[in-house]
Amino acid sequence: MAKIDLYDPKWVDMVFANKNKEYGAYQLRKGTSSRNIKAIVILVIAAALIGGFLAWKVIQQKQMEEQQAYMEAMQLAKAQEMAKKEDKKKQEPVKPKVEPKKEIPVARETQKFTAPVIKKDELVKEDNQLKQMDKLDDKAAVGNQDVEGSKNRTVEAVRNDIAVNTPPPPPAAAPTEVVTNKVFDVVEVMPSFPGGNGALMSYLSSNVKYPVVAQENGVQGRVIVSFVVERDGSISDVKVVRSVDPSLDREAARVVKSMPKWNPGKQNGSAVRVKYNVPVSFRLQ
């Protein structure tokens, strides 16, 4: 049997020879070849478009990766440069600050030296003559100690100037104990429940009374309660910071208020006020 070319419309004539060609099947089969060719052309065009789109996406993705790698390299180079500058600053010795020297004014001698003049006895006045000890006035006082004066007038003048201009030191203030009302979030020694966290959880679980309304409605959850541990260990400023149900919130606040005194928190060795959060869990059996 010879091979039949399905794309050649002659096979249709062979099949429908001596048959009614007015029937719709003949017309349908006669256009099969052209439809197959159109379908193949459309598939080729669609494949070309899809291939081009995929190639464009790959190229674009590659460009984005190259750009991102370039930006990362620039940032790394910038970070390395900044690190080198910081290392240079650390290696450079810090020059000590030299305070300018204070110049002390030199005191000048104000006493004028007068050269002695030799005169005759009759020209010397009685007021200028040296008096004997028995002729001195009663107002004159004679000391019984010999005091040697300073030979350097400049040094004495500077000492006197410093003694006059130097203010007296201020009186030492009496130490006063400063009591602060600030509430701390974190301190050196955090407050603690007597016996530790295990004792705290045991106290809460044994003292919580599950509200009947919440049990009937099947409500359960964990209520977060905030409070302040005072300097004496007492509890104050109790607040519900995460609510579950009004009945559970009231019960959690009640249990926290009923807690015994805590070990207070300390900052710099002194007891301070510290804020603390405690979870109170409600679970249905």
The mean pLDDT of 238-255, rounded to a whole number, is 93
pLDDT of amino acid 180: 67
- Where residue 1 falls among pLDDT bands split at 50, 70, 90? very low
pLDDT of amino acid 178: 47
Which of 53-62, 68-77, 229-238 comes out lowest in average pLDDT?
68-77
pLDDT of amino acid 90: 62
The mean pLDDT of 37-65, rounded to a whole number, is 89
Tell me, rounded to whole angstroms, the distance of Cα 262 from its chain centroid: 30
Please name the residues in contact with 180: beta carbons below 8 A apart, sequence gap of 6 or more. Answer: 272
pLDDT of amino acid 71: 81
Higher pLDDT, 35 or 207: 207
Which of 50-54, 130-134, 139-143, 250-254 comes out lowest in average pLDDT?
139-143
pLDDT of amino acid 233: 93
Residue 158 has pLDDT above 50, yes or no: yes
Predicted structure pTM score: 0.39
Residue 102 has pLDDT above 70, yes or no: no
Residue 118 has pLDDT above 60, yes or no: yes
Strand pairing report for 221-229 and 183-184: unpaired
Which of 60-69, 79-88, 192-201, 215-224 comes out lowest in average pLDDT?
79-88
Structure tokens at 83: 């690190």
Query: What single-letter amino acid sits at 60?
Result: Q
- Quote the DSSP letter at residue 133: G
The mean pLDDT of 40-69, rounded to a whole number, is 89
Query: Which range has the top average pLDDT, 13-17, 98-102, 214-218?
Result: 214-218
Which of 69-73, 84-88, 92-96 comes out lowest in average pLDDT?
92-96
Residue 12 has pLDDT above 60, yes or no: yes
Residue 70 has pLDDT above 60, yes or no: yes
Task: Quote the percentage of the chain above a pLDDT of 70.
Answer: 55
Question: Which residue ranges form the domains of the chain, and what is each CATH number?
Answer: 183-282 (3.30.2420)
CA–CA separation, 149 and 200 (whole Å): 83
Bridge partners of 275, per DSSP, are: 228
Strands (E) across 84-207 are located at 183-184
Q: What is the chain's mean pLDDT, rounded?
A: 76
